[in-house]
Amino acid sequence: MNDYRTEEDFISEQKIPIDAYYGINSIRGRENFDISADKNDNILIKTMTWVKKACVSANLDSGNIDNNIASAIIGACDKLINGSYDNQFIVNPIQGGGGTSFNMNTNEVIANIALEILGHEKGDYDVIGPLAHVNMSQSTNDVYPTALNLALILKLGPLCDALYAVKNTFDVKSKEIGSVIKMGRTHLNAAAPISFGQSFDAYASVLLRDYERINAVMESLSVVPLGGTVIGTDYKTSPKYREYVIGHLKQISGINVTSCANLADGIQNVDNYTALSSALKICVLNLSKIASDLRFLGSDKKYGVGDITLAPRQLGSSIIEDKVNPVMAELINQVAFLVCGHDLTISMAANGGQLELNVFKPIIAYCLFKSIDITANALNKFNKYCLCDNIQYHPR
């Protein structure tokens, strides 16, 4: 018995592992873009599946698809949403084609799960086709940014929670040590007395602004170009499809999504992503400044400043006994360097868009996901192991 099946397109045939739910386009995408061990984010897989479920539901409402086929595709989406098939997404997140390979990977996995639901073999695309049925009334150009927007909204929730928690910690500490006086410094030299409470309140204030900036951008992401298909002209969709698909997506996701007033604008422009990247960059720069302040103030009493002592987290030297380093603050500094680098990449990708499409959304998605995840994780560590730990204050 063969351990593979054969699929064919206008380029050539490809052998597909018999138990694989992906197909020929996924194989080609993996071959072309296998540049790292990175995988597509499981949140993006989930939100893309939300989009596919909304699209087939809208096509059913429009009378464009058979009820049995639609029901099987919806059932496949429900199976996929819980993460059981994430290992079937084999294309690197950084890919040419504006996300087409990821879209096709999704279409093929859904089609083959749906075929099994109806009792057919994987690859029997005459019954349920990745393009003919799963991708009906869609283009990569409208479904990919829609899924990306939803994934960013989901990811920004934990980041905002972590950021607000750090802001709250500074609020609490500013009250606890409100009357403890230290020397205020400008140009690194003594200037005038200030309380630790006033200093920490300033940190809380700037982080609140960061929180509000990120939330404002997050709200803009709920406006999506779904239904615009290739370039925002509703090409190959039914008259009420756009209305139906947005309604289904809102219900499926639980997010109050709305349609772009100008679909062409939503497909070709990426300023909402550059705005988010900018807000993230501003946030980490503020955090890095705070971390550097704590490192400076916590330098040892004998040879440094010594206004505070940060709680020791680990040995600071392999050769010097009893040395402790401000490792949690240094973590924040390095995360800031990385996020700023991602912001530059996103800026260049935004600048690279041409005419009716920006094909560089995959690298934008990759950088935004990395920036959001690493910042949220670092904030939680910084809050727990630096700010909430026992900081000692040395008034003078």
Residue 192 phi, psi (nearest 5): -155, 155
Beta bridge partners of 189: 186
Is 317 annotated in the active site?
A: yes
Distance CA 273, CA 346 (A): 8
Q: What DSSP assignment string belongs to 107-167? A: HHHHHHHHHHHTTPPTT-TTTS-IIIIITTT--HHHHHHHHHHHHHHHHHHHHHHHHHHHH
Q: How far apart are the first and last CA of the chain?
A: 82
Sign of CA dihedral 328, 330, 333, 334: negative
- Pair 102, 91: CB distance under 8 Å: yes
DSSP three-state, residue 357: strand
Among candidate residues 57, 292, 317, 347, the one labeled active-site is 317
DSSP three-state, residue 96: coil
Chain centroid to CA 121 = 35
What is the DSSP code (8-state) at residue 88?
Answer: G
What is the DSSP code (8-state) at residue 181?
Answer: E
Distance CA 7, CA 16 (A): 7
Q: Which of 63, 52, 61 is nearest to 130 (CA)?
A: 52
Helices vs. strands in the chain: H and E counts, helices first: 11, 8
DSSP three-state, residue 308: strand
Distance CA 299, CA 394 (A): 12
Task: Give the CA distances from residue 102 to residues 22, 39, 105, 202, 351, in Å, rounded to whole numbers and listed in that order.
Answer: 11, 11, 5, 44, 23
Distance CA 164, CA 155 (A): 15
User: Tokens for 248?
Assistant: 């289904």
Catalytic residue numbers, as ranges = 317
